[in-house]
Structure 1
Amino acid sequence: MNNRGRKKGADGEKSRELLMEIAAKQFALHGFHETKISTIVKEAHVTQPTFYLYFKSKEAIFQELVDMFKGKLHTLVEQSRLSSGIESAELQKRIANGLTAIFRLFQDNEQIARIGFFGSEESFDMKKKMAKQIEENLATEVENGYFHDNVDLNTVAIAIVGVIEHLTLTKLWKGINSPEELAEEMTKLFLYGLILVPSTGTIQNTSEL
């Protein structure tokens, strides 16, 4: 391929990426039904025929955005599974790192996340699959001796998804807390809870706190 052909291909890819970026913003702001292709191409400074070079329809670009976010999220949850042999001193840090990566995905891809995780018809199914994936991670981690098995792992997994969802909406996207801060708080909550249990095994009187 000559230089002219390579440049044309590079320019085409840039146009496609720009259309996806603008479409993500429009879908997040106005929802699927109120977003118009004419608005997307106008902001991208391209023609509607250019749009149809890359996407068959508004539905096609919407679905690609949702699938892209879904794939990234699946990969991060998969990578957050704790491998065997981690020292107890490193356990909290490793869990927090996995959660930080997930929160950072939501932060860096807010517009797409608003579509894929909150605004699409697939969002409920996506959260359900995320919970299932986390439950499978937890089952492996119980087998590896990191956690006890006297709680329902499905309930824990659903709770983790719910906390991530709510903290993203109320803390992360409002700029109140960073991904690292939210991950640290979540890790402490799920690892240690709220009740202070001293070495004697009895719960300390709250009036002494």
Structure 2
Amino acid sequence: MDSKFSKGEQSRGRLLAAAASEFAAKGFHRARVSDIVKAAGLTQASFYQYFESKEGLYQQLMDEFFAKLWELADGGSKVTALDEADVYGQVRENLLALFRFFQGRPELTQMVLYQAEAGEELHRKLAATVSANLRQNQAAGHVRADLSPEVAAEAMVAVCYRLTSRFLLAGEKTAEQLADEAVSFLAHGILQEKTREGARHE
């Protein structure tokens, strides 16, 4: 019984992986069930054991991806109650988890973040979640009080998108490298300390 269940889960996983590749390459409307099962090394009969339709498979991919993405996007809530000394490390862990998630699902990430018709709505929802967490962390004293949470959130989401596209999905940097770069940028900015000090006195 266990071996049959394991085999079934493997087949379902192969279909999901093949579908992610097909949808990313061709878009939802041009992707065909016949191509998905061929790429998965299965039959159309096997496909309908796990999914009622192409639409059902697509929705399953989206549901699983978004459930994890929203969980990761809310990572800032883990920072609020921390002592100041622990904030930097937790922010890095949050970013690392996000980049690892994208790295492990390159086709799906490409499809959802850059090709989905609802991309702008997704961006706004992510930014709203990040903005709410930034407000909480302003109240906790972890984030500058003069910073606009809305502007900062939009910038953070855009930076993560671009780093993922330019470096992570291209294989030029690892999730660990990007997490280090991103947390350093967020914590210290791009100006030298003496330059920042000069700006404060103007």
**TM-score, normalised to structure 2's length?**
0.89
User: CA offset at residue 199 of structure 1?
Assistant: 9.8
CA spacing shift, 1:29–1:202, aligned 2, 3 Å: same
Letter in 1 for 2:88: Q
Letter in 2 for 1:139: R
Name segments (4+ residues, structure 1) moved above 4 Å.
none
Aligned residues: CA RMSD: 2.1
Q: C-alpha deviations, 1:102-152, integer Å up to 9, x for none?
A: 011110111111122222223322221111111111111111111122121
Matching residue of 1:92: 88
Within the candidate set 127, 134, 137, 2:130 is matched to 134
Q: Which runs of 5+ in 2 are unaligned?
A: none
Q: Which runs of 5+ in 1 are unaligned?
A: 204-209
Q: Residue 84 of structure 1: SS of its match in structure 2?
A: coil
**TM-score, normalised to structure 1's length?**
0.86
Aligned length: 199
Letter in 2 for 1:27: F
Greater mean alpha carbon deviation, residues 75-84 or residues 146-155: 75-84
User: Aligned equivalents of 1:160 and 1:64: distance in 2?
Assistant: 28
CA spacing shift, 1:55–1:195, aligned 2, 3 Å: same
- The question of whether the paired residues in 1 share the 8 Å contact of 2:84 and 2:142 is answered with no
Q: For 1:73-112, what aligned pairs fall within 5 Å after superposition? A: 73-81=69-77, 82-88=79-85, 90-112=86-108
- The question of whether the paired residues in 2 share the 8 Å contact of 1:96 and 1:180 is answered with no
Larger radius of gyration: 1
User: Aligned equivalents of 1:194 and 1:65: distance in 2?
Assistant: 38
- The question of whether the paired residues in 2 share the 8 Å contact of 1:139 and 1:153 is answered with yes
Greater mean alpha carbon deviation, residues 95-104 or residues 28-37: 28-37
Q: Residue 198 of structure 2: SS of its match in structure 1?
A: coil
Q: Residue 149 of structure 1: SS of its match in structure 2?
A: coil
Greater mean alpha carbon deviation, residues 172-181 or residues 193-202: 193-202
